[in-house]
Chains A and B, each alone.
Chain A
Amino acid sequence: MEGDERGFRVALVAAELVNPPAGGLDALAVLEAEGWGVVQLPAAWYPDDVAAPLLEHVAEHVDEFTRHGYDVVLLGDRAGLAEALRALDHELPPALPAPQTRDELEAFLQSRRTVAPRSAAS
């Protein structure tokens, strides 16, 4: 992956942490600074018929990243996520269910080991 700057680390992030209310924890800024990519979960207010198809795609993304050894974590939660993952034989990834502060989030992200990505050829 010459010239490729990816971090091999992916966080599934509740929409409310991607778009925080005024004064709320800006998870996106922390994730950017720590070198993590984001897979945004559907907004909590979306009805099931809107959220479920989006969660299917989230689960497919998780499948591909985990299959290749990328580190995947969950920040916050989203109803229906566990079911969507289970449909593809995946469990919920390691999670920080309700991060409150920047320090707490940074500590969680920094506690993750650095993964050695596995190519399809290995």
Chain B
Amino acid sequence: MARPMPDAPPVTIADRGTGASMLETVARVAFVAHCLLNQNAKVDGGARCPGVYSPLVEVLRERGWELEQMPCPELAFTGLNRFWAVREQLDTLAYRRHCARIAAAVSGAIAARVERGDEVVLVGLEGSPSMGVRVTSSDPGRGGRPEWPDGAPELTPGRGILVEELLAELERRGVPAPRAGGVTHVLPVHDPTAERAQLVALLEG
């Protein structure tokens, strides 16, 4: 079900306006990782603010983008009391099926948006085993009693599991993959100014 990560930059969305009538308003819509509007979904110790991650909302609003929140794959599967995890701990057939079910739901919304000519981008969470776009977390040796401090060693180039499933589902439906990038606030190298610049670049294509 997974798709290899291409070396090329993310694909640009299809031409705007192809499906919109004169009476419809063409929108610019960012499909964002769940936790960026709801930090309550985070793993214990991971919430950076009470609820809404405002730096993302500010950038989107300033440029006239609407927000569309995706479901959190880890919240419903492993729950609020889950441990911090890397990809290998989550990458089971059952979790893939769960992510595929979310991907099907989100793809339906993206397809409806694209059909009416809306411009769509995807904003994930870099470093996440599920929602990473360019950076995920990986360590084949992790398991058993937790003894690994949170930090940089597990971070690695690649996509999270839900992002892989979502892009694969869009491809199956013939929906062009949206431009995609991620918020970096969980990375040790996080720089708010750089994060903002990267988000602006993503939105401006």
Contact = CB atoms under 8 A, between A and B. Distances in A.
A113 B127 CA distance: 35
Given A28-B57, A47-B112, A40 B40 contact: no
Given A6-B40, A50-B112, A56-B105, A61 B75 contact: yes
Interface residues of B, number: 37
Contacts, number: 123
Contact of A10 (B38, B54, B101, B108): B38
Most buried by B among A4, A37, A39, A54: A37
Given A40-B68, A57-B71, A64-B80, A4 B102 contact: no
Nearest to B116: A45
* Contact size range, A: 35 or more
A31 B108 contact: no
Contacts of A70: 40
Nearest to B46: A4
A6 to B, nearest CB: 4
Contacts of A8: 40
Contact of A53 (B57, B69, B105): B105
Contact of B76 (A6, A35, A61, A119): A61
Interface of A: 1-10, 15, 18-19, 28, 31-32, 35-40, 42-43, 46-47, 49-50, 53-54, 56-58, 60-61, 63-65, 68, 70, 119-121
Interface of B: 34, 37-42, 44-52, 54, 57, 66-69, 71-72, 75-76, 79-81, 101-102, 104-106, 108-109, 112
